[in-house]
C-alpha cells in the first residue's frame, strides 16, 4: 500500500482471536494490493489472550495495519462502530476476525458498491454452503423471523462481509446488534441493497466469541425497535440547495 489516503478501510472486530490475525491480515492485503489504497483497522474488543501482542507485532511489519482497542468487551456492533469511526477511507468493508469469511470476495463487493453508486448503500455478503450445523440452524431461524417482520429482502444478514459507504453507516441510528439489521436500516435511508454470494469457511483457530444468543432471542426487542423506526420514517427528504 502506498502512503496516499486510503480509498478502502477493512474493519475487523476481534475478541480473543490471536491465532487468526496474521493469516487474515495476509489474505486481506493480498486481495486488495494493487487495486485500491487501503488500510486494515482491527478493533480489539477487550481481548484477554495474546490478541493485543499479536497486533502490536504485526503493526511493526505492516504500515497499512492499525489497531484501536476497547478496554472491556462491548460486543461486535460496538466494535464495528469504533472501527468505522476510526477509519480514514470513504468505503468500508467489514469482515469477521475468525477466518470464516474469505477476503478473496472483497474486491467483487467493492466493485459492486462502486457500480451501484449513488443509489446502492450496502453490498451484503450472502453465505453459501455454511459450516457448523447448530450455528447454521440458529441463523436460519433468526433470518426467517427478521425477514417476516422487516421484509428487507435479505436472506442472510449475519454474514460479516459487508461493503458500504462510511458516511451512510454513520448516519444510521446506533444500537447493539446494529450489524444484523443494516439492510433494513439502509433501505430506510432510501438506498438499495446489493448482494454477493460468498463461501463460508471453517474457523481458523479458537472458538466463537460473538453471536451465540443474539441471533434471535436477545434480538427480539431490537427487531421490534427497528420495525418501529421503519414505520416512523414516512419519506426520505430530497434536499435541493440554492
Please name the residue that has the C-alpha cell 470513504. Answer: 90
* 107 vs 74: CA distance, rounded Å: 30
Mean pLDDT of the chain: 85
* 123 vs 31: CA distance, rounded Å: 17
Strands 162-165 and 91-94: antiparallel
Residue whose C-alpha is closest to residue 103's, from 6, 203, 198: 198
CB-based burial of residue 92 (10 Å sphere; 0-12 exposed, 13-18 middle, 19+ buried)?
buried
- The model's confidence at residue 1, banded by pLDDT at 50, 70 and 90, is very low
Please determine, for residue 144, whether its predicted confidence score (pLDDT) is greater than 80: no
Give the model's pLDDT for residue 145. Answer: 61
What's the rounded mean pLDDT across residues 22-35?
97
pLDDT tens for residues 113-124?
Answer: 999 999 999 999
- The model's confidence at residue 111, banded by pLDDT at 50, 70 and 90, is very high
Please determine, for residue 176, whether its predicted confidence score (pLDDT) is greater than 70: yes
Cβ-contact 86, 6 below 8 angstroms: no
Distance of CA 82 to the CA centre of its chain: 12
Please determine, for residue 240, whether its predicted confidence score (pLDDT) is greater than 80: no
* 183 vs 150: CA distance, rounded Å: 10
Q: What is the pTM of this model?
A: 0.82
Give the model's pLDDT for residue 180. Answer: 79
Amino acid at each position: 500500500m502506498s502512503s496516499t489516503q486510503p480509498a478502502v478501510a477493512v474493519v475487523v472486530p476481534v475478541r480473543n482471536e490471536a491465532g487468526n490475525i496474521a493469516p487474515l491480515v495476509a489474505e486481506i492485503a493480498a486481495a486488495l494490493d494493487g487495486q485500491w489504497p487501503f488500510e486494515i483497522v482491527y478493533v480489539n474488543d477487550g481481548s484477554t489472550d495474546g490478541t493485543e501482542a499479536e497486533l502490536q507485532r504485526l503493526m511493526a511489519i505492516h504500515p497499512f495495519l492499525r489497531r484501536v482497542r476497547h478496554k472491556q468487551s462491548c460486543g461486535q456492533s460496538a466494535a464495528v462502530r469504533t472501527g468505522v469511526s476510526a477509519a480514514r477511507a470513504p468505503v468500508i468493508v467489514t469482515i469477521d476476525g475468525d477466518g470464516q469469511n474469505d477476503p478473496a470476495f472483497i474486491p467483487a463487493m467493492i466493485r459492486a458498491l462502486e457500480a451501484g453508486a449513488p443509489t446502492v448503500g450496502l453490498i451484503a455478503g450472502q453465505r453459501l454452503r455454511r459450516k457448523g450445523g447448530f450455528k447454521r440452524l440458529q441463523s436460519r431461524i433468526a433470518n426467517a423471523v427478521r425477514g417476516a417482520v422487516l421484509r428487507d429482502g435479505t436472506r442472510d444478514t449475519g454474514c460479516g462481509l459487508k461493503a458500504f459507504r462510511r458516511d451512510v453507516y454513520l448516519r444510521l441510528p446506533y444500537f447493539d446488534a446494529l450489524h444484523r439489521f443494516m439492510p433494513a436500516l439502509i433501505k430506510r435511508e432510501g438506498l438499495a441493497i446489493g448482494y454477493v454470494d460468498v463461501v463460508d469457511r471453517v474457523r481458523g483457530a479458537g472458538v466463537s466469541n460473538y453471536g451465540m444468543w443474539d441471533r434471535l432471542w436477545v434480538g427480539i426487542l431490537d427487531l421490534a425497535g427497528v420495525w418501529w423506526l421503519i414505520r416512523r420514517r414516512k419519506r426520505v427528504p430530497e434536499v435541493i440547495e440554492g
